[in-house]
Chain A
Amino acid sequence: MAKYLLLKHYRGAPAPVNDVPMDQWTPQEISAHVQYMNDFAARLEGTGEFVDGQALAPEGTFVRYDGEGRPPVTDGPFAETKDLIAGWMVIDVDSYERAVELAGELSAAPGAGGQPIHEWLEVRPFLAAPPTITE
């Protein structure tokens, strides 16, 4: 019973095996990819392991405090930012091994040529509630 974030990167992760940008896939290949992702989420709902899944727009703005009474400063987007998050799925599973297994399945989503992308997904455990019994 632990939550994990399966993190998908636009940039910053090692290159996938089937490394063809999505805009060079056929429309059918894109549909097959989207269908795979939806089916995966639905299956996890069925197993009682799904918590959340979201996708992010690639362009973000940096914002910071600029002192009392002043509007926040905004900057960006920065094209050179090394790491860029594409989206995530949050799962609630019984073990770390199960989280890795599911990330592996998600990484098999089809891409160009209908072949698995083998993209690198990052698995990050959530910080949980502190246990009651520690000594």
Chain B
Amino acid sequence: MDEVLLRSLTPSVVAILVRRGADFAAAEDAVQDALVEAVRVWPTDPSAGPSNRGNPMRDPKGWLVTVAWRRFLDATRADAARRRREDLFDEQPAPGPAPAVDDTLQLYFLCAHPSLTPSSAVALTLRAVGGLNTRQIAQAYLVPEATMAQRISRAKRTVSGVRFDQPGDVATVLRVLYLVFNEGYSGDVDLAAEAIRLTRQLAAAIDHPEVAGLLALMLLHHARRAARTAPDGSLVPLAEQDRGRWDTKVIAEGVEILQAALARDRLGEFQAQAAIAALHADAPTAQETDWVQIVEWYDELTRLTDNPIVRLNRAVAVGEADGPRAGLAALAALDDSSPSSSSMGYPLPRHAAVAAYLHERDGDLATAARLYAEAAQKAPNLAERDHLTRQAARLNARR
């Protein structure tokens, strides 16, 4: 039994139940029950007993629809009996053949609906589109299962009045998938891989250059994952990574998807970010990085989305392309206390780290050491804090 195959069927099965008249929340619960049932009864070896009548492996989706619909009817009957409204389920339409139209896309829109907070949208997407159960999602985000269950049921209530057949905004879906990819803890559920799977599935359902751009961006970063951390868990900066450990197959796929998207001439922020990642991936050594082109892409990104993090990263690229003095000048144009960067309760966290790096390259080791120590104090995560503290210690030992 292939768990990922099973989970990949989740959104279309939920959508079929909704098309047949189930409300989204009940349909989603019924499909979760069917997934549990599938894990319990499906043969672990697909070749086992192919002659069995009703072998789910012949038509896994049909099997899930049948079981989920039965669960939905049972739940509705129980509900109806409780409320003594027997006529309710009699009006349910009889199960028909699965519709040809695939509503997977509608489910992405619903789970990323703008009325949801980011954390609710992430949780609902992972459950209703990803087919993960509440316990897995709770573990992935290090919160109690009861908390995650409440977050999901509140999210379902929030979208209960949303019409299922209305087109949504792809941009909101992409933001949710980006969050799943970028801000996951590394627990039992590989959220980065799950985000890639869901983005791939979305790209198959809708032809949109930014969906392709995000998929390329994820692949290009995922390809470097093995090289990003040392065996002791410490961060390895891009310039010091062993590029032999980058996954060239995944890089090639990312580059190909990106090139096809860019050829459409509808540039967006994810394509621009992916282009920067592709230029890094393309350099055989850190010294051979095409920083001039990277600066040009950062200029595009600034034009598309003028946020302080982009301008901070641009200052790093300028420092590499035109020298540390030019980088420091670009940095000086950035106010590190800009309000849009304070959502974590920090001023722009990496401002001091970038300044430290540029000062070190400029030969001012005393300033660099002081700024590295300051940056460590502001680091939003432990791995970065340790890395920055080590940089400060390295420079202090040399003076």
Report A's interface with B, CB cutoff 8 A: 1-3, 45-52, 92-97, 99, 123, 125, 127-133, 135
Contact = CB atoms under 8 A, between A and B. Distances in A.
Contact of A127 (B141, B313, B382): B382
Contacts of A48: 119-120, 123, 143, 147-152, 154
Interface string B209-249: 00000000100011001000000000100100000000000
A133 B185 contact: no
B206 interface: no
B147 A1 contact: no
Contacts of B316: 135
B106 interface: no
Given A45-B150, A49-B147, A133 B221 contact: yes
Given A51-B144, A93-B119, A128-B380, 6 more contacts: A48-B147, A48-B148, A52-B144, A92-B119, A95-B343, A133-B273
Interface in B279-319: 280, 313, 316
Contacts of A96: 342-345
B384 interface: yes
A49 B120 CA distance: 10
B181 A132 contact: yes
B118 A1 contact: yes
Contacts of A92: 119, 141-143, 147
Nearest to A98: B117
B147 A129 contact: no
B119 A131 contact: no
Contacts of B381: 127-131
A125 B381 CA distance: 10
Query: Helix, strand, loop or mixed for chain B's interface?
Result: helix
Contact of B146 (A45, A93, A130): A45
Interface in B187-217: 192, 217
Interface string B326-362: 0000000000000000111110000000000000000
The size class of the interface chain B forms with chain A is: 35 or more
B345 A135 contact: no
A128 B385 CA distance: 11
B262 interface: no
11 contacts: A1-B141, A45-B150, A47-B154, A49-B147, A92-B141, A96-B345, A129-B184, A131-B182, A132-B181, A132-B182, A132-B222
Contacts of B368: none
Interface of B: 117-120, 122-123, 141-144, 146-152, 154, 179, 181-186, 192, 217, 221-222, 225, 235, 238, 273, 276-277, 280, 313, 316, 342-346, 379-385
A127 B127 CA distance: 26
B300 to A, nearest CB: 15
Contacts of B151: 47-49
A51 B139 CA distance: 12
B142 to A, nearest CB: 7
A121 to B, nearest CB: 14
Contact of B143 (A51, A94, A123, A128): A51
A130 B192 CA distance: 13
Contacts of A123: 345
B221 A132 contact: yes
A130 B148 contact: no
B153 to A, nearest CB: 8
A107 to B, nearest CB: 17
Contacts of A99: 345
Contacts of A1: 118-119, 122, 141, 179, 183
B119 A94 contact: yes
Given A130-B383, A132-B192, A47 B181 contact: no
Residue among A51, A94, A130 facing the most chain B CB atoms (10 A cut-off)? A130
A128 to B, nearest CB: 5
Given A48-B154, A51-B143, A129 B344 contact: no
Given A48-B148, A92-B119, A96-B344, A129 B185 contact: yes
A50 B123 CA distance: 15
A131 B148 CA distance: 22
A2 B345 CA distance: 11
A131 B123 CA distance: 18
B274 to A, nearest CB: 10
A96 B235 CA distance: 26
A45 B143 CA distance: 11
Given A132-B182, A135-B276, A125 B147 contact: no
B217 A133 contact: yes
A51 B192 CA distance: 23
Contacts of B142: 3, 51, 92
A6 to B, nearest CB: 13
Contacts of A94: 117-119
Contacts of B313: 135
A88 to B, nearest CB: 15
